Structure 1
Amino acid sequence: MFFASRIIRSVLLPLMLFASLLSGGGLAAHAQSTQTPLPPAVKPDPNAPSAPPEEPIINLLDREPEPLFSDTLVPYAPARSVTTDVLEGLDQGALYLMAKLTPDSSPLNDGLIWRIYSETTNTDGRLQLVATSQGGDAEFRLDPGTYLVHTAYGFAQATNRIVIGKEVQSKMLTLNAGGIKFGAALKDGEDLDDRIVSFDIYGMDFDERGERDLIASNVKPGSILRLSADTYHVVSRYGDVNAVVRADIQVLPGKLTEATIFHKAADITLKLVNERGGEAIANTTWSVLSPGGDIVVEATGAFPDFVLAEGEYEAIARNNGRTYLHTFEVAPGEDREVEVVTSMAELASQEETVSSN
């Protein structure tokens, strides 16, 4: 009996150990099959209060470094099939971007241009454009590495460096930008929006040549420019001669500044005539001089037309080998014709009037 019981125990013990191993392996396999992947990172809530991110993007440049950046735009439209998307996604990171004008404003839904550049340069010494997106928010899939994110909203721009891994990142960018709406008028308030008026916008700083940085040129009245919050030097031109007004205008973040420039000028048409109210003489060459004798503008024709700033001028008309002079004044907003008379009687009466004054 004793011998038989030993045999039974020697047989049952290995069987029990084998069954235990089978049971443990089945539990492990069952646990592995029921494990679920981690959910992806959530996108930022546009309605959530603005708070500084744990790892904020460092603002590097206020403006895009044009000499380094490529002008060729490559649309971001990667082609992925359903079967390869998961495998490729494991080797890339996801970047979700949104932008606001101010920390307290709502995210912008339109008007943004996002450009992603590789930090390394190509053979031409330019930064390689990797992807671009237009509209509001943007989402990119990028290989791990360091990139420059350039954001443009009109003329408001910012460039930031970001390091991409294989995770999902969400960034909210504050542009700190506003806008200017341009208008022009005469001294008495008459609107000049339908006249030949333009605006040039410069930065406040001077370069080594003593020139300001030109931001935008030939802007028409009624236009709205999106600009970074700052003070700008604005030059308004009425006509093409000397009716120029300059002003420094401040742009506030999240605000639209309406800037109206008042001009003291008038539209003047010159005529060389044989008598008052007579027909204009063709093939006449004109010079308009300042009181100091400097040439303000020159032209050829029977009806030269200029916009001149307020002040006193001298018109010189040359025709058929003869020269005629006439002094006239320009009053703000008083557009008119100025006649230069060739008759000796008229010239004599003008000389008497001048000498009596």
Structure 2
Amino acid sequence: MLPNAADVGAAPTRGLQRFDPIALPVAPGIPKAPKIELPGLPAYAPQNMPSQDIIRSRATLTLKARLTEDGEPIPNGLVWRLFSAIPAIDGRATLIASSESSEANFEVPAGSYILHVGFGRAGVVKRIDFTGVKTQETITLNAGGLRLDAMVGDGQTIEPARLSFDVYSDAETESDRDLIASDVPPNKVLRLNAGTYHIVSSYGSVNASVRADIRVEPGKVTDATLQHRAALLTMKLVRELGGEAIADTAWSVTTASGDPVRESVGAFPSMVLASGDYVIVARNNDKVYQRAFAVEPGQNTDVEVLTSDLAETPDPLAGSGD
């Protein structure tokens, strides 16, 4: 006869509502195990309901930008970046979303954010407290444009490839200025925050430069033309005026007081020099030739050094040979 399931501690066949302790079988002659009180466990683990923030559709934060308070929305060229207002463990701001559209639409949860909107080199940073309700906000950049050019002499244009501009922030001293943009070509519109900027115009790469402080007005393109006092020189070592240039010639240019300005090698070296007095030195086949020359603003010319212009004194840039 088979033993009763209850007599050997087998679990009942009824559906379990709780995980109750199961009685162990007791064999004859073996003492009964001590009773252990265990907490009852539910037969299933209840599932957490999804967060309301997940199942609820997020509202949109819509952002537009304009140059001035009464200006029209900017149609293109904007870069939007939305950061968390709470910095990360390393102290850096966490980027939440970005856009390059004229109108930024961010679907983000309610909270505080740091917004940076850039327009060229103009930009603004603003704290946004988003309530989670569909919101539209327009940001005023208070920015404008700056277009630079330069001329030389009595209004002569300058070859664009030889002209560039550096734009600095306004400050009392040179060391306190920050470089905003470098090697800016002529007639390019720079987008800048409204304010005063220090401009350095370089004609060539030697010593012809001029400076000016220029104010950028909001909502406008400011045109500025700087005036250079310099000229483009092409140097030649010849045996007679109008003769053929002698190759393998090394050139040195110093000021009238002997300060080095530029060195070059070649039959036809060209350079732009600021107006003033210079000494041009040519070295060829261990011989040194020199000529004094005055640079006049806008007077581009060929400077010929004759082989008869032997230097009366040693080359000021030549070493002692030791």
When the two structures are superposed, what TM-score results if normalisation uses the length of structure 1?
0.69
Shift, 1:102, TM fit = 0.7
In structure 2, the CA distance between the partners of 1:206 and 1:127, relative to structure 1 (3 Å rule), is farther
* Aligned position for 1:141: 107
Are 2:214 and 1:241 equivalent residues in the alignment? no
- Cα contact 2:113–2:129 (8 A) shared by 1: yes
Query: Aligned AA for 1:335?
Result: N
- Give the fraction of aligned pairs with identical amino acids, expressed as a percent: 45
- Cα contact 1:90–1:166 (8 A) shared by 2: no
Are 2:210 and 1:267 equivalent residues in the alignment? no
Are 2:193 and 1:222 equivalent residues in the alignment? no
* Aligned position for 1:284: 249
Looking at structure 2, the residues matched to 165 and 294 of structure 1 have their Cα atoms a distance apart, in angstroms, of 67
2:96 aligns with one of 124, 127, 130: 130
Query: Aligned AA for 1:295?
Result: P
* Aligned position for 2:9: none
* Aligned position for 2:222: 257
* Aligned position for 2:158: 192
- Cα contact 1:193–1:222 (8 A) shared by 2: no
Shift, 1:90, TM fit = 2.9
* Aligned position for 2:270: 305
In structure 2, the CA distance between the partners of 1:347 and 1:109, relative to structure 1 (3 Å rule), is closer
In structure 2, the CA distance between the partners of 1:124 and 1:283, relative to structure 1 (3 Å rule), is farther
* Aligned position for 1:105: 71
Deviations 1:292-342 (A, max 9, x none): 211111111111110111111100111211211100111111111111111
* Aligned position for 2:12: none
- Cα contact 2:76–2:101 (8 A) shared by 1: yes
Shift, 1:275, TM fit = 2.1
Moved over 6 A (4+): none
In structure 2, the CA distance between the partners of 1:211 and 1:306, relative to structure 1 (3 Å rule), is farther
Secondary structure, in 3 states, of the residue corresponding to 1:248?
strand
Looking at structure 2, the residues matched to 193 and 103 of structure 1 have their Cα atoms a distance apart, in angstroms, of 39
Looking at structure 2, the residues matched to 122 and 137 of structure 1 have their Cα atoms a distance apart, in angstroms, of 28
With 263-272 and 121-130 compared, the bigger mean Cα shift is at: 121-130
In structure 2, the CA distance between the partners of 1:218 and 1:347, relative to structure 1 (3 Å rule), is closer
- Cα contact 2:85–2:113 (8 A) shared by 1: yes
Shift, 1:140, TM fit = 0.6
- List aligned pairs for 1:1-357, cutoff 5 A: 88=54, 90=56, 92-192=58-158, 194-205=160-171, 210-343=175-308
Looking at structure 2, the residues matched to 285 and 265 of structure 1 have their Cα atoms a distance apart, in angstroms, of 23
Query: Aligned AA for 1:236?
Result: S
Shift, 1:88, TM fit = 4.2
Query: Aligned AA for 1:190?
Result: Q
Deviations 1:200-232 (A, max 9, x none): 10001268x924201111111110011111000
Shift, 1:93, TM fit = 4.4
Query: Aligned AA for 2:93?
Result: L
Query: Aligned AA for 2:71?
Result: S
Shift, 1:286, TM fit = 1.1
Looking at structure 1, the residues matched to 228 and 241 of structure 2 have their Cα atoms a distance apart, in angstroms, of 30
Secondary structure, in 3 states, of the residue corresponding to 1:210?
helix
Aligned residues: 262
When the two structures are superposed, what TM-score results if normalisation uses the length of structure 2?
0.76
Segments of 5+ residues of structure 2 without an aligned counterpart are 1-49, 313-322
In structure 2, the CA distance between the partners of 1:165 and 1:93, relative to structure 1 (3 Å rule), is farther
